[in-house]
Amino acid sequence: MDIYDLFFADDRSVFKKKYDFICATEVAEHLHHPMVDLNRLWNCLKPGGFLGLMTDLLPAKSAFPSWHYKRDETHITFFSIATFKWIARQLQADFFFEKERVIIFQK
C-alpha cells in the first residue's frame, strides 16, 4: 500500500508503480483537471484492477442552491452518475455504481 497527497505525502514515485486497487476518498471534488488526474491513476492500475472514488454526487438542480457540499471552497468539481458513465467510456472501463457516494471502475 502507498499513500499520495499533494500536500501531506507528496511522493510521486507512486505513479511509477502498478496497483490492483486505487482508492481516492474525498479527492475528486478537489481536482482542477479531473481527466488528467484520473488518467494518471488509471495508468497506474494493473489489468483487471479497480479505481474506487468516493465523493458526493451532484444533487437535483432544485437542491443545488442549498447543497452543503458546494459551500466548501476547496470543492471545485462536481460529478453526476452521467458524468461518471462518460468517464468510464473515456477510460474504456467497466463502471459500477455501488452506493450513493461510491463509484468503482474496473480496468
Give the CATH number of the domain where residue 32 resides.
Answer: 3.40.50.150
Question: Whole domain around residue 57: which residue ranges?
Answer: 18-106
| CA 53 to centroid of chain Cα atoms | 4
What secondary structure does DSSP assign to 4-22, as a single string?
-BTTTB--GGGGGS-EEEE
Domain count, the chain: 1
Q: Which of 36, 41, 47, 32 is nearest to 12 (CA)?
A: 41
- Please state at what angle helix 81-91 crosses helix 34-43, rounded to 10 degrees: 50
Q: Which residue has the cell 481536482?
A: 31
pLDDT at 96: 81
Q: Which of 32, 45, 36 is nearest to 94 (CA)?
A: 45
Count of CB atoms situated within 10 Å of the CB of 91:
20
Q: Is residue 4 situated within a structural domain?
A: no
Q: Is residue 10 situated within a structural domain?
A: no
Q: Is residue 23 situated within a structural domain?
A: yes
Q: How does pLDDT run across 30-70, given as a tens digit for each residue? A: 999 999 999 999 999 999 999 999 999 999 999 999 999 99
Q: Is residue 86 situated within a structural domain?
A: yes
3-state secondary structure of 68: helix
Q: Is residue 8 situated within a structural domain?
A: no
* CA 55 – CA 92 distance, rounded (Å): 21
Q: Is residue 3 situated within a structural domain?
A: no
Q: Is residue 13 situated within a structural domain?
A: no
Q: How does pLDDT run across 77-105, given as a tens digit for each residue? A: 999 999 999 999 999 999 887 777 899 99
In the structure, what pLDDT confidence band is assigned to residue 6 with cuts at 50, 70 and 90?
confident
